[in-house]
Amino acid sequence: MSETTKIGIVICDRYRRCAGGKCFRAMKNREGAFSIYKDSDVELVGFTTCDGCPGGNIEYAGEEMVKNGAEIIHLATGLVVGYPPCPYIDTFKDFLEKRYAVKVVVGTHPIPKKYLDMHTRLGTWEGPAWKPLVAPTMSDAVTRANYD
């Protein structure tokens, strides 16, 4: 591995007690949205919640992460797989990219099979707007099952 990419992770406040296990495992294994780092080292420079709807911590968290060198901020998979998914994902992404000139990736760890199964039954991700949001974390069936 050559370059080090500094990243931040923002999780949904519904999961504020999350210890980050799936995100950190995926980061270590370069799975899910972290597969984009196959050829580089990754340094985590920030991990926090959005602070609940409508995302009161997004402005502060983005600023702190960028001050700590974040080049990319990941909006955690939990914002996509929660019931219901976060209605502010696009707003958070647009704000962070425009305010801090930082790349934002939707997703961290692969979507667990149990969440894919339920959202498929609910029809949550059927609209075309969801395709780019779930694509980075869809992974293959075996990997999804490993994240249940």
Q: What are phi and psi of 87, to 5 degrees?
A: -80, -5
pLDDT tens track for 17-27: 999 999 999 99
Query: pLDDT, tens digit, for every residue of 70-124?
Result: 999 999 999 999 999 999 999 999 999 999 999 999 999 999 999 999 999 999 9
What pLDDT sits at residue 59?
95
What type of residue sits at position 108?
A: T
**H/E element, 48:** strand 41-49
Q: Which pLDDT score is estimated for 2? A: 61
pLDDT of amino acid 5: 97
Show me where the domains of the chain are located: 4-146
> What are the contacts of 80-86 at 24+ separation with CB within 8 A?
80/106, 80/107, 80/111, 80/133, 80/134, 80/137, 81/111, 81/112, 81/115, 81/119, 82/12, 82/14, 82/15, 83/118, 84/124, 85/124, 86/12, 86/50, 86/53
What percent of the chain has pLDDT above 90?
A: 97
pLDDT of residue 3: 83
Overall average pLDDT of the 61-73 stretch = 97
4-146 belongs to CATH 1.10.3470: no
